[in-house]
Structure 1
């Protein structure tokens, strides 16, 4: 398994179908366009391949900051 395969976001079939449906609904509600499953799937693939890493990295950073703040809180209860 290549490093690229390990880093790729994997979705369950059900979650992928939900996301495709959400993309189709968005286009219909916001742009008054009906797009098919293929077009929505291609948009989802683009988001996963090109954009998702930034959201993931922001989540990791936010978690890191949160945990560091909690560690600082823990150190404040030391007894001297």
Structure 2
């Protein structure tokens, strides 16, 4: 999995620090926030990535089914019309 950019890491670290301050009434420094972000990316990153792949696969499968139905509706009857 691709690592976080400097901007992404900074954003996530700030959110972690904000969470600790607002929800736990604790202050953590940049080093602690950075270490927590590293840990979360390593532990949760693959799980979140795999879930996203699964969701994308389902969306693509649905679109392919819809496309197949659309293509079938465009098929023309061959031969003579059936007699009643």
Matched, 1:52 2:36: no
Q: TM-score, normalised by structure 2?
A: 0.81
What is the aligned-residue RMSD (CA, Å)? 1.0
Structure 2: unaligned runs, 5 residues or longer: 77-84
Q: TM-score, normalised by structure 1?
A: 0.85
Matched, 1:63 2:81: no
Matched residues, number: 73
State the 1:66 CA deviation: 0.4
- Could you say which residue in structure 2 is the equivalent of 1:25? 18
Structure 1: unaligned runs, 5 residues or longer: 1-6
Moved over 4 A (4+): none
If you compute each CA radius of gyration, which structure gives the higher value, 1 or 2?
Answer: 2
